[in-house]
A and B are shown apart, each in its own frame.
Chain A
Amino acid sequence: MSKIIQWIDQRFPLTTFVKHDLGEYPTPRNLSYWWNFGFLAGFVLVVQIISGIFLAMHYKADAGLAFDSVDHIMREVNYGWLIRYLHSTGASAFFAVIYIHMARTLYYGSYRAPRELMWWTGQVLLLMLMATAFMGYLLPWGQMSYWGAQVITSLFRATPFIGDEIVIWLRGDFAVGDATLTRFYALHYLFPFLIFGMVMIHLIALHYVKSSNPSGINLAAKDNIPFHPYFTVKDLYGLGLFLIIYCLFVFFSPELFIEPENNIPANPMQTPPHIVPEWYFLPFYAILRSVPDLLGGVLAMGTSVIIFAAMPYLDRSKIPGGARYRPIYRIMFYLFIIDVAVLTYLGAQPPTELLTVVGQVATFIYFAAFVSLPFVSKAEEKWLRRRGLPPAIEELIRCEAQERSAKSGK
């Protein structure tokens, strides 16, 4: 055995890799459980890919057969119901985990230098995840699948000059139909592997800049501990907790994530009473609906997703530790979370006059949080410094400066 490994090591850095990036990889010892969610996201990705491949063995991407083939999976394929519910619940789990992962990054300011590229690759991952989920949702070919795709693809009509052409190009037909289904299927199968590749880039960046931590600065070497066994076991424990919650949904309430309407085969002649996207798209959908103009709505929705990328520039405060040591930023963070929850709720409601106004206010707050951040964060820093920073933070800032000058001196 050791001979074989030796043979490989002369040709490929296997042992070095395992030692450097898995075993001894230095990890801040003060990481809280909020740092478990990146690993969980990777785990869910693997669950989705594996369950997806098994579904693909029985699924038929044909407008005449798709709905029946899903029912065949549910009734006749051995443990088909399990594979399908793992996959349909997994989609929601993926977003839940990713949103918490993002919230953690925002709270602790982990997007700050030198981790901007981690944040941006993460942003790309979010977009790819959304595209994958959206295309996957068409595949069962139920009413909500069909009309969801119909509504979302028609948003591209807002493109100036060539709107109609773009919509037809996306659908492969004048309306969502067989051509749309087959292309969505092809891409739904492809994207997870692109995501996998992007995760690798995300991880290479991570292992270069190392994990952020609750203190908000890079810790001195003595405060780092080897990844194995400390974080392997911590991640596994977190995985256990996650699996309990996930399996409770899969085994006891899997239909919670499937709209009743989607158990009716797609019918292009009959629009459902109201079309609701999946819960993970609701805040963005609410923003779309809050803007009366189609182009404006689409732009607002697109911006609301990618505006996160600007965070490293919008946040001008030099105080480390994100919301932890910054009371005003902390309040903003919680208000933002509440605002997103309100938008989520609104996205699921049939629009009324009152709710539209609430939606517009919530949309305004959503963007105001980002737009005001440069000024607020600067003012907050000034105020905090004038008031006098607690010695612990002074110490952190000193350490950070020292670290930086040591690096640039090299």
Chain B
Amino acid sequence: MKLTNATLILLLTFLLAPTQLLASEQQALRDVEIGHQPEEIKRGALVALNLCVLCHSLKYVKYHNLQEIGFLPNEIEPFLRGREMSQGILSSTTHESANDLFGMVPPDLSLMAKARQNGPRYIYSLLLAYHEQENSAIENTLFPDVKMPDVLGYSVEEDETMRLEMEQMALDVSAFLAWAADPRAEERRSMGKYVIAYLVILTLMLYLVKRKTWARLG
């Protein structure tokens, strides 16, 4: 039994070491629960399509994929801008003009929620981390010197209802990007429940068979 515990500890250390590392370097992310509800994801998609796509692409998300989160084909059409439903969502800014504007091409957002530790929470926190400084320069506390401007205008907004609305937008777009990075997550989790339930029952039965078989040895 002593060995069992030691090995469990060993195993856990192995499994948790990488997570430990990343947790330790976690910056101060806002503590928030990112939603999984279809309405939130759809609202977030509208924020992304109207705002983020001005600069960013979402090339692994195809326009017709938006139907999976409740868009009707005629709701998608206004965003196509001459592209096909089966094509990925592209930015309305070309690479050249993005380079002129920012000195870089803004990163593709399709996998962003998986490409940062605690991705959805990171995106939410990033969008709201803009502050106006003494010299009225806008500074992002989470990502100093970020080349993305304060796209929501959060840093200069003073009206409390507007600020709450912007926080909601940030929350929704984070929910959407979480979906965009892992659109099969819901399917995976619901399938997982059945798989685990099946395995638990199977294992229990195997245990009983094992006990019965070994009982023969006396």
Contacts and interface: CB of A to CB of B under 8 A. Distances in A.
A103 B10 contact: yes
A256 B203 CA distance: 25
Contacts of B188: 81-82, 85, 251, 254
Contacts, number: 123
Contacts of B171: none
A230 B115 contact: no
B13 A341 contact: yes
A237 B208 CA distance: 9
Given A263-B114, A348-B17, A337 B6 contact: yes
A345 B195 CA distance: 32
B206 A225 contact: no
B10 A264 contact: no
A75 B184 contact: yes
Contacts of A68: 60
Contacts of B217: 29, 225, 230
Contacts of A344: 13-14, 17
Interface in A1-46: 29, 34
Interface string A78-115: 00011001000000100010011001000100000000
A173 interface: no
Which bracket fits the contact residues of B?
A: 35 or more
Interface string B57-71: 000100001000000
A233 interface: yes
B209 interface: yes
A252 interface: yes
Given A237-B207, A248-B192, A251-B195, 19 more contacts: A85-B188, A96-B14, A100-B7, A230-B213, A230-B214, A240-B203, A247-B196, A251-B196, A255-B182, A256-B19, A260-B22, A263-B181, A264-B115, A282-B17, A334-B6, A341-B13, A344-B13, A345-B13, A348-B17
Interface of A: 29, 34, 68, 71, 74-75, 81-82, 85, 92, 96, 99-100, 103, 107, 225, 229-230, 233-234, 236-237, 240-241, 243-244, 247-248, 250-252, 254-256, 258-261, 263-264, 276, 279-280, 282, 334, 337, 340-341, 344-345, 347-349
20 contacts: A75-B183, A85-B188, A96-B15, A107-B3, A230-B213, A230-B214, A234-B214, A236-B210, A237-B206, A237-B207, A240-B206, A244-B200, A251-B196, A259-B18, A263-B111, A263-B114, A264-B115, A279-B14, A279-B18, A341-B10
Interface of B: 3, 6-7, 9-11, 13-15, 17-22, 60, 65, 107, 110-111, 114-117, 119, 181-184, 188-189, 191-192, 195-196, 199-200, 202-203, 206-207, 209-210, 213-214, 217
